Amino acid sequence: MLKVFVPKERAEGETRVAATPETVKRLVKEGLSLFVETGAGAAANLLDAAYTEAGATIVPESGLKEAYGTADVVLKVASPSPEEAGLIKEGALLVGFASAYKNKDAIRILRDRKVNFAAMELIPRISRAQSMDALSSQASIGGYKAVLLAASHLDKYFPLLMTAAGTIQPARVVVMGAGVAGLQAIATARRLGAIVEVSDVRPAVKEQVESLGGRFIEVDLGESGEGQGGYAKELTKEQLAKQQAVVRERVVAADVVITTALVPGRPAPRLITADMVQEMRAGAVIVDMAVEQGGNCELSEMNKTVVKEGVTIIGHPNLPATLPLDASLMYARNVQTLLLHFLKDGAINYDFGDEITAGAVLTYQGEIRHAPTAELVG
C-alpha cells in the first residue's frame, strides 16, 4: 500500500494545505495510506480530528523525519525548503508548486536525490487537465481578494449611489491582464458596482471581458500577444511602450488599478511606471498581483502596503493564502486529480507518452525534464 504524507506548510505566510479531509477520504478509498502532520490544516480551520475521521494517521512533529523518509508520495503546496527536500526518500513522488526561480537549491537537491517532482504550475492547460489546474483555481481566488483589498483601502464607494445628499459616482477600476485572476477581478468589481476597463495584449479575451460587463481597451500591437497555452507572451520594447501609451490615460484617471500580468518563466512586465503613479489622484489604490515576480508597478514593494505619491500600492505575494479554507479545498482537489492520474494498479506510473505526465513532471530519476528549469538551475 502506497504511503502518502501531507506535511504542514512552513513557508512564510502559507496557510493552505495540500489535502483536506474530503480528499483524504477519497484517497483512502483508492487504497492509499494517508499520514498528515499534526496541525497541517489548522491555518485553514481543518483540524486533526477531521483528518482522523476521514481515515488519516496524524504524525507528530517529532515524527517528521521518519514520515518524509518512508513516504512514497509527498503532497505539498509551496516548494520544499532545502531542508525538507533533503528528507524525501529517493524515488518518491513529490506534488506541489515548484517556483523554481526562487527555489533553485531545493530543486538541485530533489534532482540529486532522484525525487520525482510533479510541479502543479507545469500542468498543461488542456481540457483534459482542467480539474488539475491549480494555477487557475488559485488565481481565481486571488483576483477576487484583490478587489476586496482595493475596496477596503479606497476612499470612496464602488457603486453608483443616488442619495438625499446627492449622487455618488461609481469607482473607476482598471484591470490589467484578463487571465483567470483578471476575469475574477472584473466580475467581483462589477458586482460591487464599479465601472471596469480592461487591458490585455490578447485580443481573443475581449469577448470574455465584455461578457462580464467590462470595457476592453483596444491596443494595436501589430500581432497577437498570445503565447503558448493561452498565456500572454513577452512583448517587445516597442509593443510595451505602445501598450503603456494607450493604457496610461485610463490608469491615471482610475480610482483602482489591479495588475495581474505575468509571462511564464519571465519577470513580470512593467506596466505602471513611477511617473504614471505620480499622475494618479491621491487616494487611488493599486493592487499588484505580480509583485512576487518583480511587479507590474515600478513602485510596488514585496509583501508591503505602501503609499507613494498619495497612491496606496498593495504588494501581497500570496493572496490565495488569505482565504485558506476555500483555497485549500480547491487546491487539494487539483492535487487529488493529478495523483489519481499517476496511480495505476496501486503504483505510481510515469507514462511520458501522456501529455499531462510529460508536462507536469519537473524532475525524474536524477534529471530535470523541464528545459527552462534545467537552464535556470544549471
Pick the last residue of a domain from 303, 322, 341: 322
Give the pLDDT score at 149.
98
Cα(256)–Cα(280) distance, integer angstroms: 10
Catalytic residue selected from 133, 200, 255, 288: 133
191 catalytic? Reply is no
Q: Is 331 a catalytic residue?
A: no
Please check whether residue 377 lies inside any domain of the structure.
no
The pLDDT of residue 240 is: 74
Is residue 134 assigned to a domain? no
**CA gap 342, 335 in Å, rounded:** 11
Q: Do both 362 and 301 map to the same domain?
A: no
The question of whether 133 is a catalytic residue gets the answer: yes
| Residues 245 and 261 occupy one common structural domain | yes
Does residue 15 surpass a pLDDT of 90? yes
Q: Which helix (H) or strand (E) holds 249?
A: helix 237-253
Q: Is 231 noted as a catalytic residue in this protein?
A: yes
User: Looking at residue 317, which CATH number applies to its domain?
Assistant: 3.40.50.720
Number of domains comprising the chain: 2
Specify the pLDDT at position 359: 96
Co-location of 313 and 350 in the same domain: no
| Domain presence at residue 128 | no
Residues 197 and 314 in one domain: yes
Q: Is the pLDDT of residue 227 over 70?
A: no
When pLDDT is averaged across residues 235-239 and rounded to a whole number, the result is: 74
Domain carrying residue 34: 3-122+324-369
Tell which residue, 302, 280, 306, 304, has the closest CA to residue 292: 302
User: 222: pLDDT confidence band, cut at 50, 70 and 90?
Assistant: low
**Per-residue confidence band for 76, with pLDDT thresholds at 50, 70 and 90:** very high
Whether 16 and 155 map to the same domain: the answer is: no
Give me the catalytic one of 125, 190, 215, 270.
125
Inside any domain, residue 110: yes
Residue 341 to residue 212: CA distance in whole angstroms: 34
Is the pLDDT score of 123 beyond 90? Answer: yes
State whether 265 and 342 are in the same domain. no
The pLDDT assigned to 266 comes to 75
Of 33, 48, 157, 231, which is the active-site residue? 231
165 domain-assigned: yes
Same domain flag for 149 and 112:
no
For 271-317, give the secondary structure using H, E and C. Answer: CECHHHHHHCCCCCEEEECCHHHCCCECCCCCCCEEEECCEEEECCC
* Residue 376 belongs to some domain of the structure: no
pLDDT at residue 218, rounded to an integer:
85
Average of per-residue pLDDT values in the chain: 94
Higher model confidence: residue 235 or residue 94? 94
Same domain, 38 and 167: no
List Cα–Cα distances, 66 to 88, 110, 262, in angstroms.
9, 17, 39
Whether 248 is catalytic is no
Residues 104 and 214 in one domain: no
Residue 243's pLDDT band, with cuts at 50, 70 and 90, is confident
Is residue 263 in a domain? yes
Reply yes or no on whether the pLDDT at 148 is more than 80. yes
Q: Is the pLDDT of residue 75 over 70?
A: yes
Question: Which of 61-70, 76-85, 232-241, 358-367 shows the lowest per-residue confidence on average (mean pLDDT)?
Answer: 232-241
Q: Kindly state whether residues 159 and 89 are assigned to the same domain.
A: no
Residue 366 one-letter amino acid: G
Residue range 152-185, pLDDT digits in tens: 999 999 999 999 999 999 999 999 999 999 999 9
Average pLDDT rounded to a whole number, residues 198-216: 93
- Distance CA(26)–CA(332), nearest Å, equals 11
